[in-house]
Amino acid sequence: MLRPEEQADRVFTEYHRTHRRAAAEQDTDAPAFHLPTAGERYPRSSWPALEAAAWARATDPRRFPAFDAGLFEAFFGRSEDVSDPAVLVRLAEAAGLDAAGLSAALADRRYQPQVRDEHLEAVGLGIQGIPAFLIPGQPPIVGAVPYAALVEAVDRALGIAGAEGEGSSKPPGVIQEGTAYL
């Protein structure tokens, strides 16, 4: 989600640590999550990373998945400051993208309107956090939910027998009470 305000003094808190710990412990095949120390520097804003992702997607869609994965790993796996243009340029180079092109796009903020519009669209769809998954015909799934819950939601959307809903102990559409709803 877009954090448009610039906050130079942002740091990781116990709140962030709790969410990372829970995400890392969900499944045996969960990605590696670095557990930062409370007080470590947190990205000032999400604008630069989101603008860089928009640039990568528009510039070279074939290389975008590598950039996107690198961005995820940098923030969640190593707790790097993905609001720092130098970090983003390094990630672009690692994905085989043009570093000078990204530097120019970040400097002139050419993707800022697109990122703002995408953020407003997400909010309009009821998305208030990340990750968020959209499945046709259902409200968004927002938050870190177990993989099995995502499979169940897709199965339900496809009408596959055995998916929770009718006859379930949970209300229809609830994946994980208090976290995400379908």
Question: What's the pTM value of the predicted model, to 2 decimals?
Answer: 0.70
Give kind and range of the element (H or E) at residue 118.
Answer: helix 112-124
Strands 141-142 and 180-181: unpaired
pLDDT value at residue 106 = 97
pLDDT value at residue 5 = 63
Q: CA-CA distance, 151 to 86, in Å (whole number)?
A: 37
pLDDT value at residue 108 = 96
Q: Which residue segments constitute the domains of the chain, with CATH numbers given? A: 14-123 (1.10.472.60), 132-181 (no CATH)
Ranking 80-84, 104-108, 128-132, 178-182 by mean pLDDT, the lowest is 178-182
pLDDT value at residue 102 = 98
128-173 residue pLDDT tens:
777 788 888 777 888 767 778 888 888 888 887 555 544 444 434 4
Q: CA-CA distance, 13 to 129, in Å (whole number)?
A: 17
CA 63 to chain centre: 18
pLDDT band at 65 (very low <50, low <70, confident <90, very high): very high
Give kind and range of the element (H or E) at residue 180.
Answer: strand 180-181
Q: Residue 30: pLDDT above 80?
A: no
102-122 residue pLDDT tens:
999 999 999 999 999 988 988
Hey, what's the torsion of the CAs at 56, 61, 66, 70, to 10 degrees? Answer: 20
